[in-house]
Amino acid sequence: MRVVLVALLSGILFGLGLAISGMVNPAKVVGFLDLFGAWDPTLAFVMGGALLVTIPAFRLVLRQPRPLFDMQFRVPARTDIDGRLVGGAVLFGVGWGLAGLCPGPAITALVTGILPVFGFVAAMVAGAALHRLTLE
């Protein structure tokens, strides 16, 4: 139960951060990608702030003998770059650039009631289900 509560609180904190920073607004992402028009640097500041917190936090956390809610850390062992990784990154980036949304902000933006957000989340869930059926 404690693990579920921590996961819920983490998700709420993440969603609040996205909402406060304006990252649930697809126009912010599209504005960031518009380098030769009305460029909006907000996303760069959000990413930079996230890195300023994450990098030292990871160093501190990984020095612990084990995580609080598990017996061991589960850090990816693979470091190679293959076609599936590059293809997935390209597909994610193109989708993010076209829609202005990625999974976290899309789920957070559901509270806005904007119809295209529901379409995006439905397509995201369908893609995840299709992946599970075909690749696993």
DSSP state of 112: G
Per the structure, the count of domains in the chain is 1
Structural domain range at position 93: 2-135
pLDDT of residue 112: 85
pLDDT in tens, the chain (136 residues): 788 898 899 999 988 988 898 888 888 888 888 888 889 999 899 999 999 999 999 999 999 999 888 888 888 888 999 998 999 899 888 888 888 888 888 998 898 888 989 999 999 999 889 988 887 6
Rounded distance, CA 70 to CA 74, Å? 9
Rounded distance, CA 71 to CA 14, Å? 25
Length of the chain: 136
What are the angstrom distances between the C-alpha of 55 and each of 47, 48, 61, 88, 129?
A: 12, 11, 10, 24, 32
pLDDT of residue 114: 86
